[in-house]
Amino acid sequence: MSESKTSWKVRPHGTLTEIDDGILTVTGTIEMPLMQLPRSMTLVRLADGRLVVFSAIALDEAGMKTIEEYGEPAWMVVPNDHHRLDAAAWKERYPKLRVVAPEGALKKVAEAVAVDTSAPRFGDPKVRFVTVPGTRAHEAALEVETGSGLTLVLNDVVANIRHAKGFGGWLLELMGFAGDEPHVPRPVALMMVDDKAALRKQLIEWAGLDSLRRILVSHGEPIEANPQQALRELAKSLEE
C-alpha cells in the first residue's frame, strides 16, 4: 500500500456512511497479488465544519461531492508510512490540506507528500490526535467525542477483517490480517511494535473509558459490541 501517485485513481469502494454525528466512513479494496485487501477511510467534522481525513481514499466524483457537502477537507492524517497510496492525489486536489503523519513515519510519508506536522492542533478539543505508544512512533490514531460517546479511530495496529473468503481470504488469515476476532496482525507486531508493554498500557487505558462506543480500524469491520472488552483481549494477546 506504499505506492503513491498524484493521479486521481479511483479503486473499488462502497458508499459513505455516517456512523455518528460528524463521522463518515467508507470502505474500499486494493488489488494485491492473489487477494483483495479491504481498507477504510474515516472523516471527522470539526466544530467549525472543517474535516479531518484519516487514511485518505480517492473516491468517485459522487463520493467526493458528498464529502465536500459534508465539510471542507482541511487536515489529512497519513496514519503510517504504509497508508500513503492516495495522499499525494488528495493534496493535489485540495492544496490547502495540512498533512499530518506520526513522527516515526515522517521520512517515508514525505517521499509521497510534504508533511506539515506530527502534532496537529485541530482547534476542536473533542478531536484528538494520538501517536500510539509502543509503535516506534509510526502509528497514529484519533479520539473523537460526540454526543453519544467516544469513537476511537485506529489504523494498522488492530485488524478486524471477518468472513474472508476463497484463496485470498485464506492468505489474509495466513498473513495474520483476517480472523474471527479483532487482533494485532502478526506482521504489524513484528515490524512496527517495539514495546509491547507500552502498547498494552495504552489499550488498557482506552478500555477503561466508559464513554467508548466504537472502534474504527483501517482494515476490517467496526468494533461496536463491547469495545472495552475487545481492547482488554487485545492487550492480553500482547502478553504472549
Rounded Cα distance between 19 and 5, Å, is 30
The amino acid present at 164, given as its one-letter code, is A
Rounded Cα distance between 220 and 199, Å, is 20
CATH of the domain at 162: 3.60.15.10
Per residue in 157-188, pLDDT tens?
A: 998 866 666 655 556 666 667 667 788 888 88
Domain that includes residue 211, residue range:
17-237
Q: What is the pLDDT of residue 130?
A: 98
Q: What is the pLDDT of residue 169?
A: 59
Q: What is the pLDDT of residue 171?
A: 61
Instruction: Examine residue 205 and state whether it is found in any structural domain, yes or no.
Output: yes
* pLDDT reading at 4 higher than 60: no
Instruction: Examine residue 153 and state whether it is found in any structural domain, yes or no.
Output: yes
Rounded Cα distance between 152 and 222, Å, is 10
Residue pair 58/39 in contact (Cβ under 8 Å)? The answer is: no
CB neighbours of residue 194 within 10 Å: 13
Question: pLDDT: is 32 or 43 the higher one?
Answer: 43
Q: What is the pLDDT of residue 137?
A: 97
Instruction: Examine residue 12 and state whether it is found in any structural domain, yes or no.
Output: no
4: left (phi over 0), alpha (psi -120 to 50) or beta: beta
Phi, psi angle pair for 103, to nearest 5°? -55, -40
Residue pair 161/177 in contact (Cβ under 8 Å)? The answer is: yes
Per residue in 127-141, pLDDT tens?
A: 999 999 999 999 999
Average pLDDT, the chain: 90
Instruction: Examine residue 108 and state whether it is found in any structural domain, yes or no.
Output: yes
Instruction: Examine residue 56 and state whether it is found in any structural domain, yes or no.
Output: yes
Instruction: Examine residue 7 and state whether it is found in any structural domain, yes or no.
Output: no
CB neighbours of residue 44 within 10 Å: 26
pTM for this entry: 0.92
Beta-carbon contacts of 120 under 8 Å, excluding residues fewer than 6 positions away, are 75, 77, 98, 100, 129
Half-sphere exposure at residue 171, Cβ-oriented, CA atoms within 13 angstroms: 9
Question: pLDDT: is 58 or 5 the higher one?
Answer: 58
Rounded Cα distance between 218 and 79, Å, is 10
Instruction: Examine residue 3 and state whether it is found in any structural domain, yes or no.
Output: no
Instruction: Examine residue 1 and state whether it is found in any structural domain, yes or no.
Output: no
List the 149-153 sheet strands across, edge first.
Answer: 127-131, 140-146, 149-153, 212-216
In the chain, the number of structural domains is: 1
